[in-house]
Amino acid sequence: MVDPSWPSAPFAALRDSILHEDDSIRILNKPSGISVLKDNTGKDSLADLYEEVFKEPPLWVHRLDKGTSGVLLVARKHEARRNLQRQFDKGEIEKSYLALVDGAPPEKRGIIDLPLEKARKGKFRIAQTGEGLPSQTDYEVLEQRGDQTLLLCRPKTGRTHQIRVHLQALGCPLARDPLYGLKRGKPSKEPHLTLHAWKIRFRHPESGESMDMEAERPGWAK
């Protein structure tokens, strides 16, 4: 189980976060609040800690936002990275996220099919019809909790901030999100999101075996 004090006790927490490892890949349960790559806060990134702990450079296959927790797939060989990136490009890797949102979507399940484009200050927004990058997210209501809802989200594309912008456009933004939530704040001051990369399914880059990995639900998603 990931040490909740991360990143104040980063090295032990990074070792404890391993969900799976072999010669080709390493799968981590990333906590909320630490950037995968260096950001403007000056704090250690996951890349910094990874190389120091494992004595090898991380070969990123995909990334998670600083405030997003959950399954993070890292290649350990360049061949493995190329194989996994091809799987992502072909839409063969399935990702499932848990999201706690304010309000509720209009339907119990549905598809958000809205293109995205860059906005100011690192944000993204819904693009005009026929413009932007095609983006699609499937969602399903898991539980109603008063004026909040726990959703299962399956992104079919992998755009930056995709789930966050799509849920905002649906009228039910993440319950905690300094950029797109109802209560705006400074991202560096409030890095934690109610968004968790819960499950991932892919083919092992060497054996071809189907793998299903799951990161324990954080407290707000239980």
CATH number at residue 208: 3.30.2350.10
Q: Is there a domain that residue 99 lies in? A: yes
Contact (CB, 8 A) for 165 and 125: yes
Q: Which 8-state DSSP code applies to residue 216?
A: P
Flag whether pLDDT at 5 surpasses 60: no
Cis (ω within 30 of 0) for the bond into 7? yes
Instruction: Write out the two tokens for 185.
Output: 């704040």
Give the pLDDT of residue 2.
40
Q: Is there a domain that residue 1 lies in? A: no
Cis (ω within 30 of 0) for the bond into 187? no
Q: Which one is catalytic: 22, 44, 48, 65?
A: 65
Domain count, the chain: 1
Q: Is there a domain that residue 222 lies in? A: no
Give the pLDDT of residue 186.
59
Q: Is there a domain that residue 4 lies in? A: no
Which runs of consecutive H residues, i.e. helices, occur in 44-182?
46-54, 78-89, 162-170
Domain encompassing residue 19 = 10-215
SS3 63: coil
Higher pLDDT, 216 or 33: 216
Q: Is there a domain that residue 51 lies in? A: yes
**DSSP E strands: which ranges in the chain?**
18-21, 25-30, 59-60, 69-75, 94-102, 109-113, 116-118, 124-126, 136-145, 148-155, 195-203, 210-214
* Residues comprising the chain, all counted: 222
Distance CA 188, CA 3 (A): 21
Q: Is there a domain that residue 220 lies in? A: no
Q: Is there a domain that residue 209 lies in? A: yes
Flag whether pLDDT at 16 surpasses 90: no
pTM of the model: 0.91
pLDDT in tens, 88-100: 999 999 999 999 9
Q: Is there a domain that residue 37 lies in? A: yes
pLDDT in tens, 144-166: 999 999 999 999 999 999 999 99
Q: 65 catalytic, yes or no?
A: yes
CA 96 to the chain's CA centroid: 9
pLDDT class for 12, splitting at 50, 70, 90? Answer: confident
